[in-house]
Amino acid sequence: MAAATGVIAGMQVVARPANAAVFDLTNGNATASFNNTQGIVQQPDISKARQTGITVFQVDNMPVQYQNGFWVRVGSSGGESLVGPNTSSLTEGPLTQIGNNQASITYTDPGSFTLALNTVLAGGAIGSGQASLTQTANITNVSSSPLDFHLFEYYDFFVEDVSGTSSIVSITGGNNALATWTENGTNIDVAVSSPVANRYEVEDYPILRNSLNDSSPTVLNNDGGPKGPGDLPFALEQDLNIPIGQTITIATQERVATAVPEPTEEVGLLLFASFATVKLFLRRAYPFRGAVSS
C-alpha cells in the first residue's frame, strides 16, 4: 500500500499504512527518529536492547538519547504494555507526518481506550547545542465504564562521545516532576504539563525497564535522587481515572542544552601566528631606518 500525500495549510502531510510507524524528524540543529523495531543500540561500553519509541535524538550531530518510550496499564493488576506494534493488545493506526518536524500516530485497545501520540521536534540554531522534543499523549476512554488508566514515560539518555557513563539524575519539585539529567556539561530537562506525574523513580539500568516489561504491576517509588554517576534511566507515572467518552492530555518536553566547546589553546596559537605574520609583513614593508650607513 503506497503512502498517501496531501497538503494542509501549506504543509506536506504523509499518511503511511498501518504498522509503518517509523519516522525521522528534522528541525534546525536537531534530528529525532521513532522506531518500532527490536534491535541493539551501542554505547562505547554498553549494548542495550532497543524497544519501540524515540531511539535517536541528536543535537548538533551529538546523540543524547537511547530511548524514550511509553508503557500503559489498565487496572491495578497485571503488567504494563509497551505502546507500539510489538504489543499484541494494541492496534497501530496510520502514521501522519506533517512537514519535517511533526508526526502523529494513534494506538487502540479495542473496547477500552485510544492513545494518540503526537511528536514535535524544535531544533535550535546550528552550533547552539539547544533543542527540544515535545510528545503529547491524548488518551480517550472508549469503554462503557470509567477507565483506571496508568501511563509510564521512560527516559534513557547518554552522550555518545563520552567514554563510560557519568550521568547524574535528579527529579525535583515533587509531583511537578521536573527531571534533570546531567553528563559532562550536557543538561537535559524533562518537564510534564498538567496533569502532573503522580509518581517517579530514578534507577540503575535495567531495573526500571525490566519492571515495565514483566507481568506484574509497576508502582514507581518516588525516589527522585539525585543519583549518580552511573547508567541511570528514569520514569514518570500518571495514575488517571478517565470518565466514559472523555479524553485526558499529557504533554512532556525534553529540553536539551549540550556543552558548547570553549575556545581552545589551538585558537590562541592561531591568533598568535596571525599576529606574528602581520608583524613580519610590517617589518618588511617598513624596515627600521634608525641605523646609519657607513
Give the pLDDT confidence of 81-120 residue by residue, as tens digits.
988 766 667 888 888 999 999 999 999 999 999 999 999 9
Contacts of 223 (CB under 8 A, 6+ apart): 201, 202, 203
Q: What are phi and psi of 178, to 5 degrees?
A: -90, 105
Give the pLDDT confidence of 134-183 residue by residue, as tens digits.
999 999 999 999 999 999 999 988 765 444 445 888 887 655 557 888 88
Give the pLDDT confidence of 179-213 residue by residue, as tens digits.
888 887 788 898 877 678 899 999 998 999 999 99
Give the pLDDT confidence of 1-29 residue by residue, as tens digits.
445 444 444 444 454 443 446 889 999 99
Pair 194, 220: CB distance under 8 Å: no
Within 13 Å and on the Cβ side, how many CA atoms surround 32? 26
Cα–Cα dist 151/134, whole Å: 16
Residues 228-251, mean pLDDT to the nearest whole number: 93
Cα–Cα dist 215/71, whole Å: 13
Structure-block grid coordinates of residue 72: 500503559
The strand pair at 113-123 and 130-141 is best described as antiparallel
| Closest alpha carbon to 178 in 193, 196, 164, 191 | 191
3-state secondary structure of 276: helix
Helices (H), 8-161: none
Pair 22, 37: CB distance under 8 Å: yes
| Closest alpha carbon to 14 in 91, 99, 101, 119 | 99
Structure-block grid coordinates of residue 128: 547552539
Identify any residues that bridge with 151 across adjacent strands, giving them in sequence order: 72, 238
Overall pTM > 0.85: no
Q: Beta-carbon neighbour count of residue 197 at 10 Å? A: 27
Cα–Cα dist 61/29, whole Å: 8
| Closest alpha carbon to 69 in 56, 86, 51 | 51
| Closest alpha carbon to 29 in 169, 127, 176 | 127
Cα–Cα dist 176/199, whole Å: 10
Q: What are phi and psi of 278, to 5 degrees?
A: -60, -40
Choice among 132-136, 207-211, 212-216, 280-284 with the minimum mean pLDDT:
280-284
Question: What's the pLDDT at 21?
Answer: 66
Highest mean predicted confidence (pLDDT) among 36-45, 240-249, 257-266: 240-249
Helices (H), 68-214: 207-213
CATH number for the segment(s) 4-261? 2.70.98.40
